[in-house]
Amino acid sequence: MTPIFELKQVGYKVDDQQILQQIDLTIQPGEFVTLAGPSGSGKSTLLRVLATLLTPTSGELWYNGQAQASYDKITYRREVSYCFQQPSLFGETVRDNLAFPFDIRKQAFDDTKATEALESVDLTASMLTKAITSLSGGEKQRVALIRNLLFPPKVLLLDEITTGLDGTTKAIVHRLINTMNQRGITVISVTHDEGEIAAASRLLQVVAGRLEVSADAK
Amino acid sequence: MQNNLIVSPTALTFAIILVAVALAINFKEHIGLEKDVLVGVIRAVIQLTVVGYVLTYIIKVDRVWLTLLMVAIIMLNAAWNARGRANGIPHAFVISLAAIATATILTLLLLVGAHAIAFVPSQVVPITGMIASNVMVATGLCYRSLNTSFHDQRQAVLERLALGADLKQASIVIVRTAIRTGMAPTVDSAKTVGLVSLPGMMSGLIFAGVDPTKAIMYQIMVTFMLLGATSLGSVIACYAAYPQFYNHDLQLR
Ligand SMILES: Nc1ncnc2c1ncn2[C@@H]1O[C@H](COP(=O)(O)OP(=O)(O)OP(=O)(O)O)[C@@H](O)[C@H]1O
Ligand SMILES: [Mg+2]
């Protein structure tokens, strides 16, 4: 099977600071990979490189058997969806946020689809008209997550999206992500959460910009 | 009508007292602008004297090429000044020139075509100056707004990009704000014109003894012209400038 990602000696450098170095990594389609490591070790940077928000300064990066650079960035980013650590919401209301994925695809807003998405994270359609400033942290995070999932991507890059959430909300988010993974979406998830690390099927450690492969946790 | 308009050298000398007032205030209150006040005064005297003689000559000679040259010089100068307000936006001079020249030339063509003004230097040059300087200010404001928004909303722009937005989709909110900012002074002054201030051109005409009802016709024209020109200039500047905030890989710089 063609790996979904193949990284060969990938490095990322800003000015003189080597943030990522010599990353060798192969990920198969449908895998669920957990990335852990100390703060500032380069986890977010690695996800951003995978998401084409940063271009590697060295090495080779293959996506689906083709050089990442050969893809049209916009198409690629719709397939490889990056969820930010501490996302920001757009516009005024929740609807503005869920409308964005439709807008950029020049499609009309689909109420049913949006409602289903909200329900998948235990929110309701009445949420649509809510002002983004009135949302709780957990609600914000869930709205941001379904914004990435309204048009299901092939790969989901999650940057500590459960950090700061209470147990119940965490469980809701995990449930959705697992469903997505079971449908074949490759998930690469950065986390500091003990539970998530313990439950990881494939755990990778990023330390000082390098990848350290741990023994399989499960 | 001519006689009461002459400001005699004696009168100007007396006006220096006003400069002295400004300087005195600066010293007393430790404002620290003495140097700028002096530089400003000296520059104003020199620049205006030169311009006065140049205009006299241009108006006397009345050659099309000379008038056009003057128009070009005004636009280049305005673009250079606007570039100075871009704070590092790449290609700011070219962008400013495109915005200022397009807005100025189109507005001039329209005014001349509609016989609102005649193609004589005494009308074309001052009108060009008026349009170009307003568009210059508008473009400068647009740049400042773009710089601030791209800085403050960096995260939101990144998120839009990550969701697969193209550059326009990722920036449109910022671009709209910038265009609005660029147009705001002109729109505001259109709203208060006559109530708060009598604008320069109208005041000048009334000074020169023109019937105020005639003077307002000109002012209305100027107001329309500046609205059109600053909108056009702001739109061109913002649409040309926002892609400069991204690199080839559709990433924020
Ligand atoms: N654009 C940049 N310019 C300079 N340094 C940067 C840049 N982006 C990231 N860094 C540095 O790179 C290192 C890795 O940052 P990164 O955000 O990837 O860490 P992280 O592993 O995600 O940390 P955390 O767990 O705290 O989120 C940090 O030292 C950071 O300061
Ligand atoms: Mg991080």
In chain A, the domains with their CATH numbers are 5-215 (3.40.50.300)
pLDDT tens for each residue of A165-201: 999 999 999 999 999 999 999 999 999 988 888 888 8
pLDDT tens for each residue of A15-58: 999 999 999 999 999 999 999 999 999 999 999 999 999 999 99
Q: Give the model's pLDDT for residue B1.
A: 44
Nearest ligand 1 atom to the CA of A43 is 21
Q: Give the model's pLDDT for residue B216.
A: 87
Q: Give the model's pLDDT for residue B7.
A: 77
CB A45 within 8 A of CB A39: no
Kindly list the residues from chain B whose CB atom is less than 8 angstroms away from the CB atom of residue A90. 156, 159-160, 173
Instruction: Check whether residue B193 and residue B173 sit in a common domain.
Output: yes
The residue range of the domain holding B77 is 65-245
Is residue A151 packed enough to be buried (19+ CB in 10 Å), middle (13-18) or exposed (0-12)? Answer: middle
Is any ligand 1 atom within 6 A of the Cβ of residue A40? Answer: yes
* Mean pLDDT computed over every residue of chain A: 94
Total tally of structural domains belonging to chain B: 2
* A84 contact B CB<8A: yes
CA-nearest residue of chain A to B158? A53
Instruction: Check whether residue B54 and residue B112 sit in a common domain.
Output: no
Determine the Cα–Cα distance for residues B205 and B17; give it in Å rounded to an integer: 27
- Look at A74 and B160 and tell me if their CB atoms are within 8 Å: no
ipTM of the complex: 0.94
Give the domain-ending residue among B61, B78, B94: B61
- pLDDT class of A214 with cuts at 50, 70, 90: low
Q: Give the model's pLDDT for residue B169.
A: 97
Q: Give the model's pLDDT for residue B214.
A: 87
Sign (positive/negative) of CA torsion B187, B188, B189, B193?
positive
Instruction: Check whether residue B128 and residue B241 sit in a common domain.
Output: yes
- Residue A218 pLDDT exceeds 50: no
CB B195 within 8 A of CB B100: no
Is any ligand 1 atom within 6 A of the Cβ of residue A39? Answer: yes
In a domain, B207, yes or no: yes
